[in-house]
Structure 1
Amino acid sequence: MKLFGTDGIRGVANKSPMTPFHIVKVGIALTHYLIKTKSHKPKIIIGKDTRLSGYMLETSLAAGITAMGGEVLLVGPMPTPGIAFLTKNINADAGVVISASHNPYEDNGIKIFNSEGMKLSDAGEREIEKTAISANIHHLLPKAAKIGKNVRVEDALGRYIVFLKSTLPKDFSMEGMKIVLDCANGATYKIAPMLFSELRAEVKVFGASPDGVNINKNCGSLYPDKLSQLVLKEKADVGLAFDGDGDRLIAVDEKGGIVSGDEVIALLADFLKEKRKLKNNCIVGTVMSNYGLRKYCEKKNIKIRMTRVGDKYVLEEMQRMGALIGGEDSGHIIMLDHHTTGDGLLTALQLISVMRQKKKKLSVLRKVMKRYPQVLINVPVGKRADFKKVPELKKAYDDAQAQLEGRGRVLIRYSGTQLLLRIMVEGPSHKEINKIAESLTKIFKKKLS
């Protein structure tokens, strides 16, 4: 049985592996791993988002940790990047987030950070998985005198807020600004209004009434249309939409325009380059980054590297290149001079900081990058065949690429979790890319279905 995927453990609540039975074992295995590597009684911090199943999984994980002799530090609902920060700040041996990010409430997951606030290594995950699925795991349990305990961390939100404020210029204030927040009924529902109110902004909030089942439901970074309407209605300066676990940001300008993650990356990179603070003059994106981000970098003479989809791969490339900024169009943006992982609240603060320092509206600042029209079509397939080895398909792909050369691009790749072929086309006009995408879809569907 395989537990860990590309981003921790994921699944539907009360179905393997997201059952109390399995998660108790994960708690035991994690603690056993830390005892072996740390040689002391480990402290493990646990945070979660607002899903109904979070209570069940938090209790199960804590039971496994304490059964193995570990000490559990409970913080309750907390954004994923908040747990990454607190793990290092509180000097814990590991941090665990119970969340399925932007997925619906039925799903849940387990994400583990090491003592430095970085995602646990693949080797560490493999060792924990091996122990968790072992038939002899119960033999690892210590005697009753060595059972651990749970401790509630009362000042967790305050610690995280202090950290977030520390990334801003001295005496920074948002006084005079009106901001609309969409907290996705998720982990930012409490901390986001507190943070922006403390910075003296006038705050309007929705998506901040979690009931366990409404997380990400028609709200948050995946559904910014309502936020766009509210920004216009409130005549606000900016709208900020987070996802369920608070590691993504999608912004809305004062005209109701939705500002993507790639546009935010370009905007922040541009500001740093002006200040001569864009380390190594480079940024990192993914293969799904909008073509406009590449054209922006070309125009500004900034090096850009593209990775596979996933913040794990973005972070690895950032570290390799010594880049300060990297991320995904979804709004998952990493700023390594401030944090070890993507952080929606941190990104929002840096975005507003640029607005204040440059004394410009977001609708003006976003013009630094021209977003190219994009179409994405999912084609069901029978198997993941290498289409470049099929002459007719390779020719169709090459012809489409040649047609858009210098003006756009074609990306064809298989889904990592479903039998789907994703055909993405970007170019100067919707009419042209739709025609190309439809032609490719017809050919690929005929050959691969």
Structure 2
Amino acid sequence: MATYRGGRPRQWDKRRQPKLPNFQLDPPVDTAFLLKDLQSPIKTLPLVTSEPSPVKLCDVKAIASYSWIEAPTPTIAVPGSPWVWSDTHVTRVPLDKGVQQIHHNASKMGNQSPLLPLFAAVDALHEEFRYGDFDLITDRNTLRKFLRCIRGARDAHDRMDFRIDIDLIQNTCILTRCEERNTHDVGTRSGYGAEYQKATTKAPLGCEKMSGHHRIISYKFGGIKLLLRCTVDACTESDIDDDDLFLASFSSLSIRGGGNGSAQKPPPPPLHGLNVKLTSPRTVIPQSDLIEIKTRSAYRELDWDEIYPQLYLSQTAYLFIARHDRGTFRPVEKIELDGDDMKAHAKEAEETIFKLKVLLEDILKAVREEGAGSPTTLVCQDGTLTLWKREEGTGNTLGTEITSKFHRITSRGSQPSSKGRRVDKLG
């Protein structure tokens, strides 16, 4: 699956290998960014644990999703849709160029909390959603950072240092991803991933102007209740009946009332400058249709320490691997998360997945001991993970519009319609 079959595997003639792009190392993360507005360290969190045991990830539910829409004002389409895999063999694409997103939500939201779209999307599909039932609310990217810290640096390419801001509302820890910069110009460090995705997928009906798709799921991870956001590359194409196509054709993605919206529910009011446009049908693409796309040179091995946990933590059903020789692509390899090809990688990841569960338990305990209203920050620096006190009112504050959602004591409200495309159970 992961070996090059031209000639003898792993014994290529280096003189015949094409010159690969010159990938320069990222500069180290600025200490001033890591420690900005921090007051004093609280404790260092241990990363070494006792003998590992398998961790159960269960009760996976699709909660909501949204697509960013290119517009003058930050705008999301809910539930939106990922790009749809076209299932055509693309043989050649150009190098990526221009500005690419590192943290899409922060890039769009500016000084507002990058988690605001998560709450807006959930509220658009659920009435009185019980956020307070969760132990952790965060991004998959944050959990992947923790895993890298647990594994430790393997070479000079591993960027280990990071910062995660934490707010405790009642008993729920909200972990906010922080990046030193939210976009970057690929310049000479270009690959083919973005162009390949563009060539092999098509925009879903009603989301032609979208620039990225995000999904919110919930599950229990070793007893910890998580509400998790992640990006989605693509989805498989499913049959949609004529009624759904008719409704979708009238979905409004224009800015401030430029078309007919669905009659099912009026568009929610803007949240601190974030516009929400409802799309039809009101269905969340099922987990079983989700695709992660990876492009790799035929001369480079896949990094399964990175790839398997990425799929596992978001329960993405498929991995599509597109190998190329300087932009000339072979037919895609399609691998299922629960398939036989993944069993060895799942076994290898058991120890770090277990350590992640223990680390999350330690984080919850330490933050809860500080109490609600005491903002904290996790900083990983030189392989050491430390919890710090943070000055009140600093960072991208959540605001009362988010914090008030945790004080509702009501039963769960209505659910989005499941008419049309097959949908996962909505939590």
**What TM-score bracket applies, with the shorter chain setting the length?**
under 0.3
| TM-score, normalised relative to structure 1 | 0.24
Q: Which has the higher strand share?
A: 2
Q: Which has the higher helix share?
A: 1
Higher relative contact order (CA 8 A, sep 6+): 2
| TM-score, normalised relative to structure 2 | 0.25
